[in-house]
Structure 1
């Protein structure tokens, strides 16, 4: 019989992690609102430059994933996230003060660099606190910061731009990150052994369970061996294609909705929030059952297939059937987000602890590259063709390929004897 591990971890660690990732995620999506709400006209940004700016964040994000993950795994995730939050908040607020495209290019790239450390560092931190049969839910509470942020940010950004303009939207949404950095530093503990609110027995129980889990994982000598393994290569490709679809969707959803006849920015904000309500429900359900069954695979690929088919349906519906097209966008948004918790649990269960941090960084960096290409190509195709049909096809195809790779690389659970 397994020992019941301290429930206090869920109340002490998860809310802090959730709020931190929520704040760190904010500026990825509000750029799409600024673009739809007057920034492109004010700064005289061409359509090609607009799609480049939307995607530049992910290029900076791509380059610094592995060093960030390595530092978090071998030194301190807590310290890395503290400095990232301060720098991120400052750069996000500075976006509202730019007067030319050159400065905006530098800020967007640097935002990606600063924020690149947050996701892998958070996943490593959670893997030091939560066991295999908890990890999908723990990861989901972290990643829920993504759709929950976009949900309230979509509504708030619409009102802020309408009332104060896009510049004040960036400034108002950047400052909380700086304040929160100091709350993070005070409230979070790196590992169970650092937590004064756990008894010694509770600390030992968590450590013992985590050590046991490592024994069932095939050892790997170093990062070179891990990065060359078939599993890591396929997971990189899977996440690259999935992210291409996700960020093509996130970055350009406001523009797709705003293009409807008689659509104002406040209504665009409300409608843009709807897919993320479904995303939150899907993520909670998928992670709960993935932890109950430990069958991660069945809670990843079917959602990706649904997302692909919904995006293809959006292409068939066309812009003249707005409400049908919008309904399909809601379904695809929910399905794109649902598998995140199970997916990141897979990585830490397939790879030993000595290489899991670097592998997480590599896989996440390929996701960032997919995000860069998705955000850029969707914007480019929208400008080139004058409608969203080609973008729907691109996102649908990428996500379907991602589902197929999931079927190949993720193993079903081993039956208990």
Structure 2
């Protein structure tokens, strides 16, 4: 069977272009802002330990850099254990109920972390936070496949992922303000404890809203009129059926598929850079004071931390839009990974805080540009329960970098006394991820007799 024959599919349900535009606008306005708010709070609660560490937590709990890295990363041990079963539960029981359960659970644990008395209980709380949050991110990625056709998916994913850099752009100054407020206003509670307590509360409130606000599937959308609802339901059913007929990936085969695992390692290399920056950037900036003889307040460190992620937010939108317009995915993922991997070690040799932050900002722009162009790749050839398991598996393996990156970064900092070795490892991980995705582009799909063309080539 030829590639051309494989590309022949039944056409999607016909629609007036104005109808299609109106439906997608309604769906975007209804879902994307709320999902951004959820992920904003999620990522803030996951990474605010990075701001707490150099601002009192490490000293009060007696944490070395290695111990701080372990506390940051142990979150992902619990997270990875339950990722696949959690996503399968979401697919079975519906996004509204399952996501609400996840969000309320992590909010309660995030606030409770403010009361840990020592390093051991910090490890326990971070592990429990991972267990509570398991399934949230891949659940949202799966949820987007219920509502957005494939050609709209990179843009929708990019808009959702905007919460990631925004959580640093807005979250870092907010965290700094809460730290100061805790020190100034709350008797007997350290600023970092007050920050953790207050930043867990919005998750609980949003989880309650989620129960009443989200809609599981297009067929249930009362906020669309009958014509709009029928068109979107038919369109998404057609895409799911076409994907299932074309690739024939049952659940068990999905979990053993070589391409799924290769994409998981690509995601690992991409997020390695993200988590290394997210957890240690405030510490790195604080280190400028000794390296370059400068002095920063807590609020100044928060504002400087926000700068790379502000530029990252812009790159996320514009690079994903360019990918949608050109229809090319592979180089839109590989190119920023290659550039970021080559640039990050150069930050070690800069002669001022400004030039060092320029290099860090370029790397952040590259990471943020790559992320929304990753997720359209696996969701092009997975559907149904296979999509739920495949996306969760990729996210699980990829997010193992959330454990490895902060632990290795902290360990190398303790071992060498500088961040240099850690930055070289970070660059190597990003370059390796780029090389793998380029290799997949041209590799034969030998593990599936029904697919002659390569999966990633089909994503172009």
TM-score range, shorter chain: over 0.9
State the Cα distance separating 1:268 from its structure 2 match. Answer: 0.9
State the Cα distance separating 1:215 from its structure 2 match. Answer: 4.6
Partner of 2:167: 149
> Which residue among 403, 414, 417 is the counterpart of 1:386?
417
The unaligned stretches of length 5 or more in structure 1 are none
Query: Does structure 1 residue 337 correspond to structure 2 residue 358?
Result: no
The unaligned stretches of length 5 or more in structure 2 are 1-13, 183-190, 290-294, 442-455
Larger gyration radius, structure 1 or structure 2: 2
- 8 Å CA contact retained: 2:312, 2:364: yes
> Which residue among 216, 219, 230 is the counterpart of 2:247?
219
Query: Does structure 1 residue 207 correspond to structure 2 residue 233?
Result: yes
Pairing of 1:9-408 with structure 2 (within 5 A): 9-164=27-182, 165-217=191-243, 218-261=246-289, 262-317=295-350, 320-408=351-439
d(CA) in 2 for partners of 1:371 and 1:119?
Answer: 14
Summarize the Cα distance change of 1:316–1:223 in structure 2 as closer, same or farther, 3 Å threshold.
farther
Q: Structure 1-normalised TM-score?
A: 0.95
Q: Aligned Cα RMSD in Å?
A: 1.7
Summarize the Cα distance change of 1:414–1:127 in structure 2 as closer, same or farther, 3 Å threshold.
closer
Aligned pairs, how many? 413
- 8 Å CA contact retained: 2:15, 2:231: no
Summarize the Cα distance change of 1:402–1:17 in structure 2 as closer, same or farther, 3 Å threshold.
same
Deviation by residue 1:11-70 (Cα, 9 ceiling, x = unmatched)? 111111111111111122210110010111112223321111011112221111101111
- 8 Å CA contact retained: 1:381, 1:390: yes
d(CA) in 1 for partners of 2:264 and 2:430?
Answer: 14
State the Cα distance separating 1:139 from its structure 2 match. Answer: 1.1
What secondary structure sits across from 1:96 in the alignment? helix
Summarize the Cα distance change of 1:221–1:388 in structure 2 as closer, same or farther, 3 Å threshold.
closer
Q: Structure 2-normalised TM-score?
A: 0.86
What secondary structure sits across from 2:377 in the alignment? helix
